[in-house]
Structures are given as structure tokens and as C-alpha cells.
Structure 1
Amino acid sequence: MQQPKPNTNFKTDKSTIISLEKGKIPPQAIDLEVAILGAMMIDKNGLLEAIEILSENEDVFYKDSHKYIYKAILELFSEDVDVDILTVSQKLKSQSKLDLVGGDFYLIELTQHVSSSAHIETHCRIVMQKYVQRESIKVASKIIEEAYDETKDIFDLLEESQRSLDDTSEWLLRKKPEDLNTVYDKLIKNSENPIASIPSKFTKLNDRTNGYHPNDLVIIAARPGMGKTAFVLNEAKFQAEKGFPVGFLSLEMSDVELLGRIIANEFGIESSRIKQHQLTVSEKIVLKNEANKIKKLPLYIHDGSETTTTEAKTIIGKWVRQHGVRIVYIDYLQLMRASVNNKNGNREQEISYISRKLKAIAKEFEITVVALSQLSRAVETRGGMKRPVLSDLRESGAIEQDANVVQFLLRPEYYKISEWDDEARTPTAGQCEINTAKTREGRLGATYLDSSQLKYMRFTDLNDKQNDDWTDDFEPASTQEAFDEPQQPTQDNTGYDPDELPF
């Protein structure tokens, strides 16, 4: 039997050192590693099943020689070369690693330990479990080491720790492909015990979208002054009143400001006077006597500027576990950051990463994530009704791709446009258009709301204007007048400055 040659070029990484305190050795299953590699070299079915479970990470194996052999097998598989003792031997020899694994004799010995690939799935999952345990020990050791470092920023430490734990846990959450029979049974079971969607406050909008669905990422986008925050607060308050636990992650406003807007909506007090502490004596008495109307709502608010996706996941996970939150609103997406350390990265790539993470959070916790989004200034320079289109989503086309639903808010009177572009040329005063530009569940088209009470942070149903349905290939805005002289927003006829409206 050939003896492996010592590897003199090996560099020690502190993060990979595992303490053997109290005589403990790292979790491992060497005998099962042997069985897996042997089965992969004698049975193609075993090869396919092992790669499906273990993926392309040779570090799943504890023994270095087994890592080299598995990596060689993966390379042969990717090159469409048949895998057996001879091809694996040739691949290792070409990499100058055959002697390191113990030579041809050890490869033969691996295959002699098994006669088939029976039970290989069980063996792989045990080996994977041992790997996750080792990775957890590694992460914990690194956290302990860096926690003693006085120069380490505490927020960097927390974020890196959470990210490392998330990366490790992904191995436990990996799903095996299902056959159609299993998926069919799952569909029937879901139809018998459906997870109810969360209703919208607005009747016609609810009919169009069928409410808010679990696992969905919903994007609500508009230019400043359209009332995005007021709109989602109407939805959040209504859903909480119906008994659905709601989370609100605010990156722009404080929790006190948000509460002030909820109070304005409930009691019909101008939000500007609440913010400026100009309440009358009688209004203060009403707020004191009717406090339970607000306090009892299952609505949970977290305010924090520059919240990262990791922090958001931690907060949302806590809400889901402790309060059973079903839907989370995020105000707004462009204020979120991918990580603490990514301060000077490409912003478009960062927004793409954020939108993917928000979609992943919705799926992991089986909730609805509704994120507000800003639009580019192209809307302002456009002529006509200035309707937003999907290409106006600011800083990233990935938002459109990741979202299940995209809706745009438009209040034409903000731009001093007094008539809608319908045949009747109906007035726009006190009206808001919600354009559903993308949906996978409902119908595309426009829904109209009454926005005449925005100073009280209220949107209501508008019953005297019909909805507009679109076909899938209909573009809900014309850009032919994109180079027209832009119309400047001015004060509207209600006597208050639209720039003071919530985003």
C-alpha cells in the first residue's frame, strides 16, 4: 500500500481550528464516508443520489483524502466522464493527489467495503449532519475569538455571526426534488386546508388581487408625495383590526411618527397637528379615553435607519415566532442595506441582492412581505398622466423580476392634472389610481381610490369610477411625451403642501 506524502504547503486558518478541549473530537462519520465514496465508484445511481444530496462541497467529508476523492468524482461528473476506480485514479494522478489519498490500493479498498448503493441517502444525510455540526462549532469558535477583540465593531460582529449561521443552516433546509405524485397529493392537501389570503381594505383592489398571499413579495412604488406610507398604513391597520398580526419595519420614520399617522386615521385628526403637538384639550381627552382602540391592535413596529437584510430577517423571524405575524410592511426598500460592510458597493447590485433576500424571507417564513419602493425621476419628466411603468423602478430591474405583485400609486392632482385620460374626462381631484402592473394571482389593471382625506392619512373606496382591466401585454403608460417640459408639483386645492405627505 502506497503511503501518502506529507503536504508541506498547508496553511492554517484560525477560523478552521476546532478546539479539542475535554478530549472531544470533531463530529465525524469516517465509516459512512468510506461507504459513500465506494458506492459512487461502483454504482451510477449511487453517484447521482450522493451528488444530489451533498452538492458540490467536498468539505462535507471530514477526512482530507476523502475530500480529494469526492472533488475528483465531481470533476469527472461535470466533464461527462464515466466514474469508476480507473477514471478517479487518473484524475487524482493528473492533480498530483493520488499519493495523498493513499494510492490505487486505497481506492480499491473503498469499493470493497460496499456491494451496492443501498442506503446511500441515509449515509449521505448523516455525513451532512456531521458537517453541519462541525461548521456550527467553527462559527461558534470564531464568534468567541472575535468577541474578545476590542477593536471589532459590535454590529459587524453580530451581522457576520448571523450570516455565518444562516449559511450553515441552509444545508438543513435543502429540499429534495419531488415526483409529480407527491406534489399532486400536496396540492390536494392544501386545497382541503387552504391558507387564507390576507384581505385588502379596499374592496375593488381585493377583488383584483385576491388579497395578499403567503410567500409573496409585493412591491408598492410611487414618486414622493403620492401617499405610499399612508396607503400601507391603511392596509396594516385594517388587517390588524381583522385580527391578522402585522409587522411594520420603518427605515424612514420613527415609531412615534407612524403611531401619529395611525391616530390621525382612526380619529380624524390632521396628522400635521399631531406631529406639531397642536392637539386641542378635547382631542387629548378622546385620545386618552379611546387609547385601547389602538393599543390592542396586533401591530408591531420596528424603526431603524439603514437596517440590513440580516437584521430584517432576525426581526421578522422574532415577530413570526412570538406573535404569529402574517404580513410585514417595509418602508422603504431603497433605505435598506445588504450588509454592514457593503457601504461603497455597486448600488444596483445591492438592491438586487436586497430584493432577492426579501423574497427569500417571505418564502422561508411563509408570510407576505410588502415593500415600498421609490421610482426614478423619469416619471416626473414624462408628459400626459405621468403613469409609472415597470422600467421606472429605481436602481434595479431585479425588483420587477423578484416581485409577485407590483403596484404603482398615482395622484394626478399632485402634478396639477385636473382630468383623467378616460373618455368622460372625469376630474382627478381627491382621487388616486392604483395600477397593478404585475401579478401572478389576480388581474392587471387600474383601481381607483378616494384620497381626499389624506390629511387624516385616509384612503377609502371610490365607488363612482369603474376599474380598468388590461391585457398582459398592455403597457399602462405612454412615454411618447417623455421629453415634454416637465410640470412642477405645486400646492393642491386642499390647502396643504403635497410635499408634506408621507412617502
Structure 2
Amino acid sequence: MNEYEEPGDIERQPPVDLEAEQAVLGSMLLSQHVIDRMIAIVEPVAFYRPQHQTIFNTITALYSRSRNPKIDPITVGNELDRAGTLGKIGGRGYLHHLVAAVPSVAHAERYAEIVRDKALLRAVIETATRAAARAYAQQDQAMEILDDAMAEFQGAATGASPLEVKLSVGDRWATFLDELEAGKDPRALDTPWHDLNDVVELKPGQLITVGAATGGGKSLFGMNLAAHVAIRRNRAALVASMEMGGGELVARLTAAEASVDLDRLIRRKLTDADWAKVIKVSDRMQNARNFILDDSPNLTLSKIRARLRWMASHGHPAGIVVADYLQLMTPEGANSGKNRAQEVADISRGLKTMAMEFEIPIVALAQFNRGAVGRQPLVSDFKDSSSIEQDSNVIVLMHTPPQPDPDDPELKHLKERTGEIDLIVAKNRNGISGRIVTLAFQGHYGRLQSLGREY
């Protein structure tokens, strides 16, 4: 042990490599050409010793202050002396010791990676310890403890910090100018229907609710949209399905992509021509590893949030979530004493919060109540809760238009619209509301198609 090392309990000492920390700082004092690389790899909090954090912050502050910075033990020592912290870090002698402790500046990146990895190990220990303490105390629900721990683990894995936020106009201005120049929000997603894209954008942090009556096509809408994002736009997509199992979802996806009759796919009764179409899209399906279909039973907000973190940890951070459908989601906590309207309101608000947390659009499919049958739907027709209307940034209502009936005076003069479905944009914080976009309803292929016309 040299004069600058600290004694400690060897058996229980947290993961730390003081020599690597010293080598990182010494490399920065020796050569300013490595400073950019060090800043990219480690944060100040990655250093175990507080005086190392102080030295790192002082070097980076000096480095960013001038176009031609002078970084060496003397200039850094003067800066520390001016701030009144020179004695706390061990004096000027410690700065010269750091320089002497560097085996090779050429290996500076490796030293920084060691410092970062040790910091991650300490973060794992701290998070697990906090979670264990809460579990022993039994003061919180198990899912709440688990969810908080997973959030901390994911934050450590991605390097995210709740303090790393950009809120000022100055922070946001460059992004806003980029959007103006591009003519759109580059983070927004499009849909597979070009005529709907003229009206609606799927923007990060927003809740888009798509409502329909039973059998009204909302699941087709959700699967078609998720497939477009995952397969055609190469952005990871999550379909959280409480309506159908994974096999049925894959059948619908295959029907839409291969133009094979959905009923024959579900019953596994394919013709030779069907098989030829399925084989043609086989590679596309085999490679769709960023398209996640979660049909886990009793899906809750916490389970969807955990799935999103799992996707991010496996290198596929979600670009969109489709929840099918909202009123089938299981509320958090058992026997909460809330009525169904309150539970659905909590779920709706939770999806909105999740969209903001992960900065992705979340598309919630929702069912109408029985009062919407036989007429054009309204935003007040959602089953179980009126809060869906308040929480949603965009609301699309699906409506199958009535067909002409010569025996009904009110229907006999209607235009024949068999195989069509109207998408009513009833709420749109990104644009104009009240527009109606008509799509072709191809249920036998499990898909909706653009007609290219608008009412």
C-alpha cells in the first residue's frame, strides 16, 4: 500500500480499482488528446474516491473553457487552489503522483473502461441492497419494489441518469430547428396508410387511442401498424396482447405479409399456392427479431414496462408499443377497492406516463360500449372510462359504414361501401381533428389497405 491508497475492509470492500482511476487522471494530465475519449467513457460519479471526482471535474472544466487548453499538473493545481480544494485532493504532490502512475497513455481507454465497469458493479450492489432492504421492511408492494429496481438496473446499463435532463429553451432550440428544416419531427413514426399519414403523426411520448366495436378491426389496425414499424421501418415494436395468443398473432401477421387466407392459416389447411407464398416471406419473418409479441397472462403496466426494459437491455429499444386492448389490462395490485372506471382510468394514465418515460408513441386499442352499435361512434363511447379521452393525444375511431337497404327508408339511398372502414380522427393534438380517412377492410388477409381517398 502506498501513501495515497486507503485502508479498508478487504473482504467487504466494494468493487474498485484505484490504480485504474489514477491512470485515467494521469493520462488526462499527460496528454489532452485523450480527454475527449475519457469524457465519452466515464462520468465523474464513476470514480470511487471523491478527490478523483474533483480532479476529473477540474480537468474537464479547464478543457472546455478554452479552444487551446493547457492541461498539466501545474495548471490543474492552480485551478484547484483557486477553488479551495487543492488540500482536499492531496496537494500538488498527488497530481504529480498521478502522472507517474500511468503505465502508458496509449492504454488510457482501457483504464477508463475498467473504472466504468467497477462503477457499474457498485451500482448493482447498491440497487440490490436498497431493494432487499425494502423487501425485508415489507412496506411496499412486491411489484413496486421490483419495478423500481429494474428501472435503476436499466439506468445503470444504459448510462441514463434521472438528473440528465434538458429542459431549457436553449437545450431544445437546436432540435426544434432541425424539425423545422426537415419539415416534420424526425422522431415521429408514420403508419402503413399514406392517407392517414397526411392527418396523424405518431410522436414520442404520446398516447394514441384507437377505438372500435367488438370485431371492428382494432386488432388488425394494431398488428398492421406494429409490423410496418418493425419490418418496414426497422424499429423495434412491442405488441402487448391480452386479446389473442402468440400463434394467432403470427397467423395474422403472416396472412397480411404473404396475402394468404387467414382462416386457412389459423386452421393450418394451406394449399400448395399458399405454401409458396409463405416460403416467399419466410426470411422476412425469421429476421423479425425486433418484433416482440407478448401474450403473457394478466398483463399489467408494470409487466409492459419490464418488457420494454428487457428489450432495451437486449439491444432492441422499442420504437412503439401497441396494447391490445386497454380494457383487458389487469390493474396493479389486488383488491384495490376501486371500481372498474377508476381502474381503467389508472391504466389509461399509466400508459400515457409510460409513453413519456420511454419517449415512444404508445397505441392503446380500446373497445366501445354497447351504446355505439349502429351509429357513428363518439369519443364518449369508450367502455368503462371517460378518462381515455382526456389522456389521449390522438383518438382514432373505427367505424364500419352502413350499407344500403332497399327496405329501410333511411338506408336505401346510401352508397354501396362494402369492404370499407372509416377512421375518424376525433382528437388530434398534432393537427386537424374531425377528418375521416377510409381504408379497405381485407379481413381475410388480416390487414387494412389505403384507398387513397379522404372524406
Specify the TM-score bucket, using the shorter chain as the normaliser. 0.5 to 0.7
Q: CA deviation at 1:175?
A: 8.4
| Other structure's SS at 2:199 match | helix
* C-alpha distance 287-334 of structure 1, shift in aligned 2 (>3 A): same
- TM-score, scaled to structure 2: 0.62
| Other structure's SS at 2:351 match | helix
Q: 1:37-80 CA distances to partner (integer Å, 9 max, x unpaired)?
A: xxxxxxxxxxxxxxxxxxxxxxxxxxxxxxxxxxxxxxxxxxxx
1:206 corresponds, among 190, 194, 197, to 197
Q: CA deviation at 1:261?
A: 0.6
Q: CA deviation at 1:455?
A: 1.3
Is 1:400 the counterpart of 2:353 in the alignment? no
Aligned-partner Cα distance in 2 for 1:177–1:285:
52
Q: CA deviation at 1:359?
A: 1.1
Question: 2:348: which partner in 1?
Answer: 355
* C-alpha distance 163-377 of structure 1, shift in aligned 2 (>3 A): farther
Structure 1 residue runs of 5 or longer lacking an equivalent are 1-21, 25-131, 150-155, 469-503
Is 1:364 the counterpart of 2:392 in the alignment? no
* C-alpha distance 134-423 of structure 1, shift in aligned 2 (>3 A): farther
* C-alpha distance 244-424 of structure 1, shift in aligned 2 (>3 A): farther
Over aligned residue pairs, what C-alpha RMSD do you find?
A: 3.8
Q: 1:269-291 CA distances to partner (integer Å, 9 max, x unpaired)?
A: 22122112222344335424541
| Other structure's SS at 1:412 match | coil
1:292 corresponds, among 283, 301, 307, to 283
Aligned-partner Cα distance in 1 for 2:257–2:218:
18
Question: 1:315: which partner in 2?
Answer: 307
Question: 2:264: which partner in 1?
Answer: 273
| Other structure's SS at 2:198 match | helix
Q: CA deviation at 1:457?
A: 0.9
Q: 1:199-256 CA distances to partner (integer Å, 9 max, x unpaired)?
A: 11112111111x3111111000011011111122222222333233222111121111
Question: 1:429: which partner in 2?
Answer: 418
**Amino acid of the residue matched to residue 403 of structure 1?**
S
| Other structure's SS at 1:447 match | strand
- TM-score, scaled to structure 1: 0.56
* C-alpha distance 173-267 of structure 1, shift in aligned 2 (>3 A): same
Q: CA deviation at 1:160?
A: 3.9
| Other structure's SS at 1:409 match | strand
Determine if contact 1:139/1:161 at 8 Å carries over to the other structure. Answer: no
Determine if contact 1:159/1:340 at 8 Å carries over to the other structure. Answer: no
Q: Within 5 Å, which residues of 2 pair with 1:301-340?
A: 301-321=293-313, 322-340=315-333
Q: CA deviation at 1:257?
A: 0.6
Determine if contact 2:403/2:415 at 8 Å carries over to the other structure. Answer: no
| Other structure's SS at 1:259 match | helix
* C-alpha distance 244-404 of structure 1, shift in aligned 2 (>3 A): farther
* C-alpha distance 406-290 of structure 1, shift in aligned 2 (>3 A): closer
Aligned-partner Cα distance in 2 for 1:133–1:264:
45
Structure 2 residue runs of 5 or longer lacking an equivalent are 1-10, 14-122, 156-160
| Other structure's SS at 2:244 match | coil
Aligned-partner Cα distance in 1 for 2:402–2:166:
52
Aligned-partner Cα distance in 1 for 2:407–2:132:
65
Aligned-partner Cα distance in 2 for 1:140–1:160:
6
Q: Within 5 Å, which residues of 2 pair with 1:172-183?
A: 173=162, 180=169, 183=172
Question: 1:241: which partner in 2?
Answer: 231
Is 1:283 the counterpart of 2:270 in the alignment? no
| Other structure's SS at 1:301 match | strand
**Amino acid of the residue matched to residue 467 of structure 1?**
E
* C-alpha distance 352-457 of structure 1, shift in aligned 2 (>3 A): same
Aligned-partner Cα distance in 1 for 2:309–2:411:
45
Determine if contact 2:241/2:325 at 8 Å carries over to the other structure. Answer: yes
Is 1:157 the counterpart of 2:153 in the alignment? no
When structure 1 is superposed on structure 2, of 294-303 and 284-293 the one drifting more is: 284-293
Question: 1:61: which partner in 2?
Answer: none
**Amino acid of the residue matched to residue 292 of structure 2?**
Y
Question: 2:427: which partner in 1?
Answer: 438
Question: 2:454: which partner in 1?
Answer: 467
| Other structure's SS at 1:462 match | strand
Q: CA deviation at 1:431?
A: 0.8
Is 1:218 the counterpart of 2:208 in the alignment? yes
When structure 1 is superposed on structure 2, of 289-298 and 265-274 the one drifting more is: 289-298
Determine if contact 1:225/1:414 at 8 Å carries over to the other structure. Answer: no
Determine if contact 1:198/1:244 at 8 Å carries over to the other structure. Answer: no
Question: 2:241: which partner in 1?
Answer: 250
Q: CA deviation at 1:314?
A: 1.0
Give percent identity, aligned residues only. 25
Aligned-partner Cα distance in 1 for 2:226–2:333:
29
Determine if contact 1:202/1:460 at 8 Å carries over to the other structure. Answer: yes
Is 1:375 the counterpart of 2:360 in the alignment? no
| Other structure's SS at 2:318 match | coil
* C-alpha distance 369-200 of structure 1, shift in aligned 2 (>3 A): same
2:177 corresponds, among 179, 188, 209, to 188
Aligned-partner Cα distance in 2 for 1:175–1:422:
60
